[in-house]
Chains A and B, each alone.
Chain A
Amino acid sequence: MGYPHPTHPKETPVLSRHFGDSDARSFDGWKRRGGYASLEKALGMSREQVTEEVKTSGLRGRGGAGFPCGLKWTFMPKQRTQPHYLCVNADESEPGTFKDREIMRWTPHAVIEGAAIAAYAIQAEQTYVYIRGEFTEAIAIMQQALDEAYIKGVLGINAMGKGVRIDMTIHRGAGAYICGEETALMNSIEGKRGNPRIRPPFPAASGLFGCPTTINNVETLAAVPPIIEQGGAWYRAICLSNPNSTGTKLFSVCGTVRSPGTYEVAMGFPLKDLVHDLAGGMRPGRRLKAVIPGGSSVPILTADEAEATLLDYEGCVARGTMLGSGGVIVMDDSVDMVYQIMRLARFYAHESCAQCTQCREGTAWTTKILQRILHGQGKLEDLDLLLDLSEQMTGTTICVLSDSCAAPVVSGIRKFRDEFEAYIDSGRAVAQV
């Protein structure tokens, strides 16, 4: 059998073209599919050329923030007076997101190759791959691939015989969502508590162990080998809508659809097609009610808004939400929005690192209020209190976890206020389960 679903004609498989093909996991299999040619090519180019190619491609960070990848690399000091580090953020913990897991499961060498190219470009001799601890399968596969890469001389003190040192180490997370935040991830690697750090200084100036550091998402790095191989211009041309969002993007679709899974489409693809076409649409008799397009941290879209959304960075912002990590959570009319929002808030309350006052207390309090509403003990003023709390939690903390908690709450109350009021009035849900 192959990957859970055959490639849909509307997909644009670049990263996912070997998904389901277990032979691609091995070093030799990857080589046979043209692997490590990009790394070899990159090592033959100057560091600036590599960075320039990535800049040309228009590749933007796939972890959620969408920062241009090539530009990020240029922030690293040109002269290396201290060690430089590359961190690969494989701590994929955002609820509803499971694309990095698939990349690591099926094409571990793509990650290693992309990371090696990036490490070369930013003069990092040491790379840390920070993988979410729960991804036991992905960790085993990545570790095996890494060992093979060392054995074959792709990595190490003299990577590919080109006289460049590229070392790579897998670091397992220990179950904290916040360690997916870039500076918390660095603290975690350093052996400290995974608390996000104040910026500035930004990682490119003072990151891991106080040295210049670049941190990229797995999907971002996995896209680098094809860019080096086929050219930035080729990648840039993969674009359906806004020219500032280029290339392909993996979307992990979950929720009340008939075929949940990871789908790779070109930037600018309509959300409507993703949900109804690729993911198989709603179950019989059910109507689309809401979509969270970018992982749990972004504002919720109503069905109407979702149907009109184009999946790229700008398209989502135009609908008042964000592309985020590409975790599309679909909800039909059987879903109790109040309950779902409480679950999201509870997640953030549980995962708050507890540094900032607003986040530590705000997420917990928000959860408590939502739970009270669910138990039929809510008051109308509680909705104002929730909105007030959410406002206090937005834009006032070190990282954006508290903003992430506030986003679904605020959009949920604005867009589905009737469901909240029904609980407050009658103590019952609106949704028809």
Chain B
Amino acid sequence: MVASAVELRLRNSRRDTANQFVSAEAVTSWRRIYNSRAKAQYFLARGFALDRDSTYYFFLTMITLSIDGRAVTVPNGATILDAARGLAIDVPTLCWYPRLPVVGSCRLCLVSVAGAPKLMAACAAQAEEGMAVETETPAAVANRRSVLGLLLERYPTDRLAPDGQDVAVGAAGFDGGGPNEFERLLRRYAVPLRPERHHELALRTGDERPGDPMIRHDMSTCILCTRCVRACADLQVVGVLDVAQRGERAEIVVGGDGDPDHAACTWCGECVRVCPTGAIHEVLPPRRFPKERVAAPERAVRSVCPYCGVGCQVDLHVRENAVVRVTSPWIEEDTPNSGSTCVKGRFGYDFPQHRDRLRAPLIRRGWVKRRDRWRYEGPAAERRRGPWLSIDDEGERPKPRPPERAVGKPLASLSHIPRGPDDVRDRVATPASWYEPFREATWDEAMELVSQELSRIRRERGPDALAVFCSAKCTNEENYVLQRMFRAGFNTNNVDHCTRLCHSSSVAAMQRALNTSAASGSMREVEEVSDVIFVAGANVTEAHPVFGAAVKRAQRRGAKLIVADTRRIELAQRADIHLHLLPGTDVALFNAMLWHIITRDLHDRAFIAGRTHGFDAVRAAVEPYTLQRAQTITGVPAADIAQAAELFARGPRSSTLWAMGLTQHAAGTDIVASLLNLILATGMIGRWGAAMIPIRGQNNVQGASDVGAIPMFYTDYQSVADPAVRRRFATAWRVPEESLSLTPGLRVTEVVAEGSPVRGMYIFGENPIISDPDVAHAEHWFQALEFLAVQDLFLTETARLADVVLPGASYAEKDGTFVNTERRIQRVRKACEPPGEARGDLEILIELSNRAGLPAPFADPREVMEEIAAVTPSWAGVTYERLDMAGLQYPVPDRESGGAAFLFADRFPTGDGRGTMVPVEYLPPSELPNDQYPFMMNTGRQLYHWHTGTMTRRAKGLDAREPVPTVELNPADAAELGVFDGDPVRLVSRRNAILIAARISDRVQRRQLFLPFHFREAAANLLTNPALDPYAKIPEFKCCAVRVEGAA
């Protein structure tokens, strides 16, 4: 095919080479072509490889038509509207929205086509060769005025924005804001308001979501475009909203009975995003954000969501130095989330303004300065104590019952929620008494004390008596400066962060097999190309909801979904095959799948021969894992294992996603290794559509590891034990070579352990008191430290033990970069200033570094990135300018490189380019149920909370949805125990006990429990088993034997 002009233009605007904003026309064309399975089959039949390029460009034919007298060439299949948008001709639309199914029902976009008897709907009519379209003929305009006039007839006049008021920034329309999308069209077509016949038809009604903590409806302004219905059903694949009734009484309803909870709403706010009139709008906590402040934000700042690893871009609306609203980028912009967000991203933005924010440095009372030196003169016995209950003590305290949910019911119908000391709505705030052991200090005092004590411990007890926890929530630049300070300034490699507790076993296994530590592919290929998606141990729809929706869309497109999970989570219910295994039996499952694939001769012999080592050993190792044996071990029917194995191996493009369900085991590295064997033996890696994605749980856990916040590597996973590497870093940091330690440092779980040499710690934005296993023990360990400094937003459970607390900045108050789960480096932009005297984290760290004697010559994060790029080969081509828009997916070895959407097409980054398969054997979890502890407990995340709850529990809307800790209990077990929903139960493990409310749910199997770990008052990690993986030192969070006692 001769390349047409348009095709060439598209080629030139390729995302991965030019990395620039592409025209709307190009994007719609890509989407259309991408989604065309018929065309894909056409090309497959002709032997085209379905790689990234050919899927983009296989237009079969191009057609030329004229619109308003201008010629335009579009791929066959494009609509008139697509063609018009390509010419930047603005055909008005209401029901049409990019990527939503076309219904063509608002009848606004009707245009005149020469020779056609009637006006045609531009959004639905296909463009045809030689078509002559006029978009603003008298007939078309008359029709538009008619449509708008009919809609205006039922629109509340008092809601119309006053004339002359400007459009709110990025606003799709909000109470009191400028004219919304519909009103702008009224103005464009000068539709007259005719008060004398107004309201001959009643204002529209609909379900209102009374009492909803995040989303409300004002259906009098609904124009029934049904975008919300389609966004809910087709973008988020949930289907809460629908149109009920007919004729003039037609209205948008929420589920069958108006209760979004019953309709499985996830509060993602996609409906809010697409609503053209603001009839569906977000609730803004009225006291915290008076309505007028939302009306006209001063500016909107593009940034990245601070929660999970998907890396959604969001627009932060700022007014009076506060984020007052979060909106989505336009759906056609090139963002990893296509502008979607989840409930946390859209509604969890108010924590930076929470009254608990630290506004000044805190120093523990008892520290006094005498003759230029700080010394602790307080009573030693009360050191690190305070007027609070320890996590341990809180565990067994009585808890309030989960409140009745307010949504869908008039507030009056709700039972009284008790106010007072036990008011569930206030219990997460920092109690006033927590501040008692502290006094406010100046920055100079605090900095001086921190640098004095860290230096003293280093001097008196040696460098390895110091340790630092970096933060997966903070930017690359901050983590880089922090690890640089401890490595070069304090000469220790005791640098780690919470990756240890999540994907360290994945990294260990991937390093061993492929010498890589990040995803091989992109989320987009999973959504758009993969034929089979294997999700193992990942509750994607709750922990990474935007990616979860993409997986659901992929399944709707026709991809097969295999889910291996101990719980019947949403994806498991939707899966084509749910491998409902017993906890911790993953190795047996994956080995059996591989052996079945080998017996069926479905393994990829060419890939194994050309790209891997060690297949024979693995083959011998998996041979004993027959389907029957696997069925016995895992509890999964042999037929399901066989079917899943065959489906995965046949592909032709199978992607593999996994998360904590595999990694947080004492055999975590083995489990991931057995999965990698499966991937390598079937060759399901290194092609577009065959991705290997360990889904990252935190906004920058990938980046923090990449920039060296782990004990054994400098940036880019360059070993600290390699003298050549050390030499390079010593030169870059301008320090003597021997000042950098060649000994890999201690890992999180080794630092916080009996017999650890660490005496002084700096903790940056982490909360190990909640997140470490067996926290009762960890709490005691931290209390015994000589010195503890914590840099955080709030006085967390960890910070309250500190000697010095430095108030830092939230994601909205800083510049920098995050790396998402698909290796995408994205810009985070400062929207407002930290409150009070709180400072930017980078600023704090630079000053500390300077005080510690290691000059950090950086004026801003941009300069830090320049140094990172200089010492990090795979980031060598990264500059802030190049990170605009969608960022870059590293490796970016030079300024010309546009990053890589997928890796390993030809070789793995190992010495000889081959991957290594490592034989692994199944080992049962280190703690199994017995008569005394008959339940197997699993821990993890809920949709509405994130990690230790420091942020989400201070976000009003999120906290309203899950205000108290609950444990999921199978109905049959509950019946046996005589426990009803909401009743308190006592969970006892070999280590500790907690009191918690039961949530009866058949998502868990019998004799299993699921306990979220976000809640300090019933900390899951009081119970968990600190057994460690031998390679990655990751604890066994996912399996622990407990006993359940009805506590009533």
Contact = CB atoms under 8 A, between A and B. Distances in A.
Nearest to A201: B126
A350 B247 contact: yes
A198 B126 CA distance: 12
Given A362-B150, A395-B119, A354 B250 contact: yes
B143 A352 contact: no
A361 B104 contact: no
A115 to B, nearest CB: 29
Contacts of A3: none
B107 interface: yes
B146 A368 contact: no
B247 to A, nearest CB: 4
A422 B889 CA distance: 76
Interface of B: 102-108, 110, 117-119, 121, 124, 126, 143, 146-147, 150-151, 153-154, 200-201, 223-224, 226, 242-243, 245-248, 250
Contact of A357 (B107, B200, B201, B243): B107
20 contacts: A193-B242, A351-B246, A351-B247, A352-B246, A354-B248, A354-B250, A356-B106, A357-B105, A357-B106, A357-B150, A357-B223, A361-B150, A361-B151, A364-B247, A392-B143, A396-B107, A396-B119, A396-B146, A398-B104, A398-B105
Given A198-B121, A354-B243, A360 B153 contact: no
A328 interface: no
Contacts of A178: 246
A365 interface: yes
B107 A363 contact: no
A355 interface: yes
A176 interface: yes
Chain A CB within 10 Å, residue with most, of B153, B201, B248: B248
Given A354-B248, A355-B105, 10 more contacts: A350-B246, A352-B247, A354-B243, A356-B105, A357-B105, A358-B107, A365-B150, A369-B200, A392-B143, A396-B118
B185 to A, nearest CB: 12
A349 interface: yes
A368 B201 contact: yes
A397 interface: yes
- A195, A360, A397 — most chain B CB neighbours (10 Å): A360
A350 B226 CA distance: 20
A347 to B, nearest CB: 10
Interface in A161-199: 176, 178, 193, 195, 198
Given A354-B224, A354-B247, A364-B247, A198 B150 contact: no
A349 B247 CA distance: 6
Q: Is the interface of B mostly helix, strand, loop or mixed?
A: loop
Contacts of A363: 247-248
B105 A361 contact: no
A396 B149 CA distance: 15
Interface string A125-162: 00000000000000000000000000000000000000
Contacts of A34: none
A200 B126 contact: yes
A413 interface: no
Nearest to B142: A392
A368 B104 CA distance: 26
A395 B139 CA distance: 12
Nearest to B249: A354
Q: For the complex of A and B, list the 7 residue pairs with the smallest distance between their C-beta atoms, beginning with the closest.
A: A354-B250, A364-B248, A355-B105, A361-B150, A392-B146, A352-B247, A198-B104
Interface of A: 176, 178, 193, 195, 198, 200, 349-358, 360-365, 368-369, 392, 395-398
Given A349-B247, A351-B247, A395-B118, A357 B151 contact: yes
B228 to A, nearest CB: 15
Contacts of B224: 354, 357, 360
> Quick one: which of B105, B110, B117, B153 has the most chain A CB within 10 A?
B105
Contacts of B103: 195, 198, 355
B140 to A, nearest CB: 10
A360 B248 contact: yes
Contacts of B226: 355
B146 A358 contact: yes
Between A200, A356, A395, the greatest number of chain B beta carbons within 10 A of the residue's beta carbon is seen for A356
Contacts of A176: 246
A354 B252 CA distance: 11
A198 B124 contact: yes
Contact of B200 (A349, A350, A362, A365): A365
A383 B201 CA distance: 18
B573 to A, nearest CB: 19
Nearest to A385: B197
Nearest to A361: B150
A370 B837 CA distance: 69
A431 B154 CA distance: 35
Contacts of A368: 200-201
A356 B119 CA distance: 14
A198 B103 CA distance: 7
Contacts of A398: 104-105
A41 B153 CA distance: 60
A396 B143 contact: yes
Contacts of A356: 105-107
A354 B246 contact: yes
